[in-house]
Amino acid sequence: MMEFAETSLWDELAAETRPIFLYGTGNGGDKILAALDKYHVTLTGVFASDGFVRDRYFHDYHVRAYSDVAAEYGDDIVILLAFGTTLTSVKEFIFELDRKHDLRIPDVPLYGGDLFDMAYFESHRDILEKTADLFADEISRKLFYDAVNFRLTGKTEYLTDTGDPVQSLSELFAGRNIGTMLDGGAFKGDSAAEFIEGVHPAKIFAVEADPKTFVKLSAYAEAEDRAEVVPVHAALFDCDGEMDYVSSGSRGSGKNGQNHRADGKTVPMRTIDTLCTGADVDLIKLDVEGAEESALRGAAETIRRCQPDMAVSLYHRTDDLYALVNTVHEMLPDHRLYLRRVPCIPMWDLNLYAVR
């Protein structure tokens, strides 16, 4: 029987007596330090990987090399990871650190929301339990429990159930005839290429807001010969207009982007209903940096009219894990719901699939 964790990382850290080190800096480090301050947790120091350390400070902490920290403090330390990765070599090193020390990965929202601490969990336990019952298979229900427990504990053991994205698409959408799809948050064409390989759409409207990334998306669309890819420069939202957009060409872009090195831009803002007026859409994918709920509201007529299959990211905001699942279920009550995740650290790239 699957169960939710009974303790929270933040409560454990508040009672911790061992040295606590932050591994990494950047936006993730900023958010973790703010959360530690909220819980009155004292940080011992900050370190970086030996090959990347340089003489600098982060929030008044001198950034040290991991090897120096390990030599001085030994194995009995707590490490808080402050960055994400999909690189196999980096993931292996992180798991190695976890075997040697006590490594945790604090869940801090990418684009807003409360900390997923025990108070948050208890106040949302009922809706979380009801949401778990909506999924169509045990793989999805286990992934949902893993996601909740990871957010509570920050333990790497909850990150192991992953799969190849193309294989997941091929299995979940087997037998489906996907003529036209809308790829919201198309990035450089990465997701379009996966969907072309996995479900073979004839045409993709590839929507990307970041101006820097859109240039690369356009180049990909011109070169792609397996399907017609139509690049669209716009931010998906629940109304048409313009929005201020933080452009970085990476994670941290968006309406509420928090990449300090990014540039502010004004970009077109469009609803899916506007973009798809009169078009038959078989599949909608949304990975739009925290604007998924707004994009769904802006797609209400298209979803009602076309009853498309859906692929929606669930990891940008704290409430996404249950709120987006229930929104999609309300809009498409007869679709079967699945969760799948690709290999990465932390609990990013968790995707909801709604299949007619």
**Where do runs of H (alpha helix) occur along 79-203?**
88-100, 118-132, 138-153, 165-172, 190-199
**Model pLDDT for residues 41-69, shown as the tens digit of each residue:** 999 999 999 988 989 999 999 999 999 99
Rounded to whole angstroms, the Cα distance separating 217 from 211 reads 10
322/255: higher pLDDT: 322
Specify the pLDDT at position 246: 81
Specify the pLDDT at position 2: 86
Structural domain contains residue 149:
yes
Rounded to whole angstroms, the Cα distance separating 91 from 242 reads 39
Specify the pLDDT at position 248: 59
On whether both 196 and 301 belong to a single domain, the answer is: yes
Output the domain CATH number for residue 23: 3.40.50.20
Structural domain contains residue 126:
no
Structural domain contains residue 118:
no
Percent of the chain at pLDDT above 90?
90
On whether both 162 and 13 belong to a single domain, the answer is: no
Structural domain contains residue 90:
yes
Whether residue 169 contacts residue 193, with contact meaning beta carbons closer than 8 Å, is answered with: no
Rounded to whole angstroms, the Cα distance separating 239 from 31 reads 30
On whether both 98 and 31 belong to a single domain, the answer is: yes
Whether residue 286 contacts residue 185, with contact meaning beta carbons closer than 8 Å, is answered with: yes
Q: Which residues contact 327 (CB under 8 A, 6 or more apart)?
A: 293, 296
> What mean pLDDT value characterizes the chain?
94
* pTM listed for this prediction: 0.93
On whether both 135 and 101 belong to a single domain, the answer is: no
**Model pLDDT for residues 220-244, shown as the tens digit of each residue:** 999 999 999 999 999 999 999 999 9
Q: Is residue 146 pLDDT above 60, yes or no? A: yes
On whether both 66 and 174 belong to a single domain, the answer is: no
Structural domain contains residue 229:
yes
What is the residue range of 51's domain? 9-106
With tokens 């301050």, the residue in question is 37
On whether both 64 and 155 belong to a single domain, the answer is: no
On whether both 311 and 165 belong to a single domain, the answer is: yes
Q: What is the mean pLDDT of residues 162-185?
A: 96
How many structural domains comprise the chain?
2
On whether both 97 and 154 belong to a single domain, the answer is: no
Structural domain contains residue 183:
yes
Q: What is the DSSP letter of 254?
A: B
**Model pLDDT for residues 67-125, shown as the tens digit of each residue:** 999 999 999 999 999 999 999 999 999 999 999 999 999 999 989 889 999 999 999 99
Structural domain contains residue 84:
yes
Structural domain contains residue 310:
yes
Answer with the one of 89, 106, 123 that is the final residue of a domain.
106
Output the domain CATH number for residue 320: 3.40.50.150
